[in-house]
Amino acid sequence: MLIRKLFKFENAHIVRNCSSERCRTSIHGHSYKVEVLLEAHALDHGQMVYDFGLMKGTIRDVIDAFDHAVCFWDKDDAEYIRLCQQFSARWISMPVSPSAEQFARLFFVIIDRILAQTIMSNGEADVRLHSIIAHETDTGYAQAFREDAYNPRMGDIKLEDIVFSAQCQQEWHDPEMYTKLLQQTPFNNPAVPLQVKA
């Protein structure tokens, strides 16, 4: 079974080398919608694949870091990168270009690691990330599956190569969250008192 949770953020970018001239030559923004799809073949004690509320912790925080931020490819022109960092408090440096395709892959890699480090506490048996859909506009989206996220032919995405500006990190509920992710520190879901026996 699949469940889906939708997140939204506003973000600015340039996508170098693409065919659309406006897109590759001018900073422009999008109202992104990101769908996180989880799959499981058993249900938890609440008879859910994964409580939607649990996705409003670390997963929501990391996606919200992209809100009102500028994203740039770390291989972009050094002066462009310097100016983004100088004039925007919120920026994210990415090891791949910020196309819809790469946003979908990048969120897959981050959220896959968050789930892997999460200590489940309500009987979630085998919940795993199915795919990420990144809507760039009302009419265009990219969907990344596991084989896309870790496909070296699409570019390597290593967590340590994604850099969030200080302001992006400060607004997280736990400003150390990304450091903990890199250090593979476990994230604990809240314990749930069982009221009715299954």
Ligand X SMILES: Nc1nc2c(c(=O)[nH]1)N=C([C@H](O)[C@H](O)COP(=O)(O)OP(=O)(O)OP(=O)(O)O)CN2
Kindly indicate which of the ranges 88-96, 132-140, 161-169, 183-191 contains the residues binding ligand X, using the contact rule CB under 6 A. Answer: 132-140
Which residues, 90 to 109, sit near ligand X by CB under 6 A?
Answer: 99-101
Closer by beta carbon to ligand X, 62 or else 100: 100
Residue 183 CB neighbours (<10 A): 9
Q: Exactly one of 23, 35, 45, 171 is catalytic; which is it?
A: 23
136 tagged catalytic: yes
Closer by beta carbon to ligand X, 145 or else 172: 145
Closer by beta carbon to ligand X, 15 or else 114: 15
Q: Exactly one of 101, 130, 136, 168 is catalytic; which is it?
A: 136
| Contact indicator for 97, 16 with CB cutoff of 8 Å | yes
147 tagged catalytic: no
68 tagged catalytic: yes
For residues 179 and 176, what is the distance between their CA atoms, to the nearest angstrom?
Answer: 5
Q: Which of 12, 15, 59, 168 binds ligand X (CB under 6 A)?
A: 15
Q: Which of 23, 43, 154, 159 binds ligand X (CB under 6 A)?
A: 23
Residue 41 CB neighbours (<10 A): 10
- Return the biggest CA–CA distance within the chain: 62
- Minimal distance in Å, beta carbon 15 to ligand X? 5
Radius of gyration of the chain (CA): 18
Q: Exactly one of 35, 39, 45, 68 is catalytic; which is it?
A: 68
Quick check: 28 binds ligand X (CB under 6 A)?
yes
Pairing of strands 91-94, 187-188: unpaired
- Minimal distance in Å, beta carbon 1 to ligand X? 29
For residues 177 and 170, what is the distance between their CA atoms, to the nearest angstrom?
Answer: 10
Which residue in 63, 50, 139 sits closest to 104, CA to CA? 63
**CA angle, corner 64, sides to 8 and 142, nearest 5?**
50
- Minimal distance in Å, beta carbon 119 to ligand X? 35
| Residues identified as active-site | 23, 68, 136
